[in-house]
Copies of this chain bind each other. A is one copy, B any other.
Amino acid sequence: MFSLASLSLRLRAFGYRGDRRTMATVISGNKTSKLVRQRLTKEVEQMKTQFLGFRPSLVVLQVGDRDDSNLYISHKLKAAAEIGIDAKHVRLPNTATQDEVLRSIISVNENPSVHGLIVQLPLDSVNHIDNELITNAVAPEKDVDGLSCINAGKLSRGDLGDCFIPCTPNGCMELIRQTGVSVAGKHAVVIGRSKIVGAPMHDLLLWNHATVTTCHSKTPDLPVQVSRADILVVGAGRAEMVKGEWVKEGAVVIDCGINHVPDETKPSGKRVVGDVHYASANQRAGYITPVPGGVGPMTVAMLMENTVQSAQRFLLKNQPGR
């Protein structure tokens, strides 16, 4: 007869690690974003008490009337209201010219009672508008989306305390922190190099002292690169492209993908999946974010975080004797 201890040892020798270790721990963006929003609510309450009714203020500038933009903006306004941030939705018609959009931005830049300004992208105008010009017209100290060149430059060169970090990668870092896994000294792999996800994610991991590899559409040996990642962040925009068997045993897997794939079993005929094949990655990763309910809910929470941070910086600058 085998004792339980020796049975366990023999099973481990065959790769069996017990029920509790065969599936990754799920990192919930729903739970984590709720914790962030609760913390921010308290911070805003404190500001209000300490500075006689002071409230952080955010302007969301929209051009046109896209359905998806309307939905995203409603989420942002709702989150702001719950936290106690004074959020205003400024709407320009789809006939707005570039100059009109610029004038709106400048007017918010110059308004000292507003701490954050985001321009909802994509711009929905019948006129040609230069996205880069618009993004960079937002005053860097109010650019809570962190998308202007100046904020990108500071982040990419390691001046993290003096910039706004784009919301999605900032949310990913918060999720990684939730695992308790330290980033410093780890090998992190980022798939994707977009301005809003991959590129700033590289910077954040690097300046949190990971060794970072950036992969993209021109990377010929993606499975090999992925297999080296202690921390894997995927922002590729391709449904389930990262296979479970590529993932390093015990890795932290953060999936920024939101893809719609056909699914006849659903009333809508489709379902949402990430850039990682969850069912198989789940078998090898130590921690993994689900889609939906992973990175998605973090983005709005981090926008609120940036807005509150901007208001705090404003107070620090403008309170004499502080």
The CA-CA distance from A37 to B151 in the complex, in Å, is 35
Q: Does A209 contact B (CB under 8 A)?
A: yes
Chain A residues touching B, range: 35 or more
* Cβ contacts A179-198/B at 8 Å (1 or 0 each): 00000110100000101000
Could you tell me if A185 and B218 are in contact, using CB atoms closer than 8 angstroms?
yes
Could you tell me if A218 and B209 are in contact, using CB atoms closer than 8 angstroms?
yes
Contact of A158 among B154, B159, B193 (CB under 8 A): B193
Name which residue of chain B comes closest to A189, CB basis: B213
The CA-CA distance from A150 to B140 in the complex, in Å, is 11
Q: Does A319 contact B (CB under 8 A)?
A: no
Name which residue of chain B comes closest to A140, CB basis: B149
List of B residues within 8 angstroms of A225 by Cβ: 211
Q: Does A216 contact B (CB under 8 A)?
A: yes
Most buried by B among A184, A213, A219, A225: A213
Could you tell me if B211 and A214 are in contact, using CB atoms closer than 8 angstroms?
yes
* 5 extra A-B contacts, CB within 8 A, seeds A152-B152, A155-B156, A211-B215: A149-B157, A153-B156, A156-B157, A206-B214, A212-B213
Of the A-B pairs whose beta carbons lie under 8 Å apart in the complex, a sample of 13, sorted by A's number, is: A149-B157, A151-B153, A152-B153, A153-B156, A156-B203, A202-B214, A206-B214, A209-B218, A210-B218, A211-B215, A211-B218, A211-B219, A213-B213
